[in-house]
Structure 1
Amino acid sequence: MTMMYDVLIIGAGQAGLSMGYFLKQSHLSFLIIDKEQEIGDVWRKRYDSLVLFTPKRYSSLPGLMMEGNVDELPKRDEVVEYLKKYATTYSLPIKHGTEVISVEKTKNIFHVVTNRGELLAKQIVVATGPFQTPKIPEISQNLDKSIKQLHSSQYKNSNQLQDGAVLVIGGGNSGTQIAVELSKTKEVYLSISQKLKFLPLTFASKSIFWWFDKLGILHANRDSFIAKKLQQQGDPVFGYELKESIQKGNVSLKPRTRNAEHSTIYFEDGDTIKVKNIIWATGFCLDYQWIKIKEAFDMQGNPKHKRGVTSVSGLYFLGLPWQHRRGSALLLGVGNDAKYLFQQIIENFEKSV
């Protein structure tokens, strides 16, 4: 017999767990499904030296603060343990090793086909987050097979790399952290497409995020003037480790990577280098081909939504970048969006009864 749920949550990362926290307080039946084998697996697969730039005070989900000094920056393994504790604390119903193959809607019911059978739901929350399909430029295919290439999501530590120089392509916080780490043992180049903007982790003995909180930046919704300016500028690099590494000559800055051929990398300024290793810190693409509901997406395949609510009754998205605020895709702000969607789900359910 195919199980029917009031709400099915796809994804058991921070977004799915936050949604589960609120649904646990309701009378609705729900299930969280995830293709990974264990809570925190996505985090566990990230690079070993990963440290969040948001302190524990601003890296906690609804109802449960991370253990330890709230002003400390959590390490990767602390996040993994925290998420596991969160799921246990609230006894969230999670089915692991369950990969969604397709989602369709007929009449008022969602049909979710997985590798472990079919599930039915009256409402669905897609909480798969923004880190889905690694984005690697086509020029990567022009390189010799002798060049070791990894996406930042595949990188764990320097032991994966060959002897010789490394080029990190991408100036986001992951790329810059990896570049700094590798510069301690290797010759490192960092290719960026725009000028780096550095912000301190602390100012006047307070976390920079404490100041963002007090100045209203953390709470600015995506359509506000300040939020639009932030989106145009892109993410800053938090902390000055990279800046110091560049000043010491441990990391060599390069402009945008224009092309690659055999073992040579070509940059926008006409310069070229040869390296043995490349880390593509070039982000991710959203991939929702498995959701067979065309009206939920625009021509580029992005969800059409307002604060995660789509025009398809009962279909919601959670954990998207700038879904409502700057931290919507992060531990920092996903709980706020989950609470809003919970209210929408309850209202929708009451209308249908």
Structure 2
Amino acid sequence: MVTNTLVIGASIAGLAVAGSLQKQEIEYTIIEKDNCIAAPWHRHYDRLHLHTSKRFSHLPYKKFNSNVPRYPAKEQVIEYLNDYRSAFDIKPLFNMEAFSVKRVNDVWVTRTNKESIESKFVVMATGAFGEPKTAFFKGMETFPGRIMHSSEYKTGADFKGQKVLVVGFGNSACEIAMDLYEQGAKPVMSARSPVNIVPRDVLGIPILEISILLNPLQPAVADLISKPLMKLLIGDISRLGLQPMPYGPLRQIQKDHKAPVLDIGTVKHIRQGNIQVEGGIDHITGNIVYFKNGRVAKFDAIIAAVGYRSVDEKIVSVEKERFDDLLVSVDHQNYFGKDGLYFCGYWISPTGQIREIAQDAKKIAKDIAKKNN
């Protein structure tokens, strides 16, 4: 198969790129290893909502409907993405997985499970969260209950009456802990590392809008300005058994490439005693978990919210010295468009991941259009 532009992945980033290429009247092919668009969203837990406002979380050239709430639920996001696909007549080739992307002479050759595809341009849109990280805890093989990655979690109803350990303190971990409590389970969170917590809304205004206003400033300066407000709204998290980060949330994004926790109610539940917080896990013996803070507790199940890794390093073959800057967005890399290779959806942005994807998708399409002329 020969195409002008190959887009790999048909979730949020891939759809955003496809829609943007359509606007530029660029011929393209989009492939997806699963049998539907936005496959990760179909697999996510039932309670999931966007943690960022719909106003800044839509794809290029099409907003959410006005009847959708500010923070859309999982099914509303899926419905929106299906509507987006229809509006732009995006036709992914499903069940087609890319195994390698290599530069051969003046074209990119992508080997898939079905056929090879030659293209002038390639856009990697598999994202920074393509593959669940493997959880490992010393002695976990002796645990008699179920240990699952958060990607396998669906609903707290499956754990009603059980004492469940949620490992991690990211956005998914916090929402899962809330869901467990609301569904009648007894959640405990193992917070292994220091964290930054920011409110999702400030006086009814999404924190994302404040981040956008502060974005022109250096992260350290912006954090210094917002620190008194964050302390007033969140309080001293060390009293909750959590370790505060030595630097602020915007510096965290810049330095660690990880988003802070957007609090949607977890802090309140911790203060009320509905969710307990422990330190990192030292080891497990049977159904007993020994924490590094010296505490010990029995559990019926463990949910490992230990994050994801990108899969693109397994796929793209370029010289190692040219690979160091790939996993960031077009505004923050030196690799943008070299030899016709682009990446969309890999930069953790202080102004919202989907907003960043939408901006990058339009820039990528415009750059391809310029190089085609």
> What's the CA shift string for 1:33-54, capped at 9, x where partnerless?
1111112221011000001121
Q: Which runs of 4+ in 1 moved over 6 A?
A: 219-226
CA contact (8 A) 2:328 2:346 kept: no
Which residues in structure 2 correspond to 1:190-269 (within 5 Å)? 190-213=189-212, 215-217=213-215, 227-228=250-251, 230-232=253-255, 235-269=259-293
CA contact (8 A) 2:161 2:186 kept: no
Structure 2 equivalent of residue 53 of structure 1:
51
CA contact (8 A) 1:17 1:87 kept: yes
Shift of 1:263: 2.8
SS at match of 2:72: coil
Q: Which runs of 5+ in 2 are unaligned?
A: 224-249
Alpha-carbon distance in 2 for matches of 1:127, 1:314: 14
Identity of aligned residues (%): 26
SS at match of 1:319: coil
Matched, 1:33 2:56: no
SS at match of 2:142: coil
Structure 2 equivalent of residue 9 of structure 1:
7
What's the TM-score, normalizing by structure 2?
0.82
How many residues matched? 341
Which residues in structure 2 correspond to 1:13-162 (within 5 Å)? 13-69=11-67, 72-139=70-137, 142-144=140-142, 146-161=144-159
Structure 1 equivalent of residue 238 of structure 2:
none
Change (3 A) 1:8 1:220: farther
Matched, 1:169 2:167: yes
CA contact (8 A) 1:266 1:272 kept: yes
Alpha-carbon distance in 1 for matches of 2:329, 2:262: 30
Alpha-carbon distance in 2 for matches of 1:73, 1:262: 40
**Structure 1 or 2: more helix by fraction:** 2
Alpha-carbon distance in 1 for matches of 2:218, 2:135: 32
Change (3 A) 1:69 1:342: same
CA contact (8 A) 1:56 1:69 kept: no
> What's the CA shift string for 1:150-178, capped at 9, x where partnerless?
11111111344486310001111100000
CA contact (8 A) 2:126 2:310 kept: no
Shift of 1:285: 1.5
> What's the CA shift string for 1:173-195, capped at 9, x where partnerless?
10000001102311211011345
CA contact (8 A) 1:169 1:279 kept: yes
SS at match of 1:120: strand
Cα RMSD, aligned residues only:
2.8
Alpha-carbon distance in 2 for matches of 1:304, 1:246: 34
Q: Which runs of 5+ in 1 are unaligned?
A: none
CA contact (8 A) 1:201 1:207 kept: yes
CA contact (8 A) 1:305 1:311 kept: no
Matched, 1:292 2:291: no
SS at match of 2:316: coil
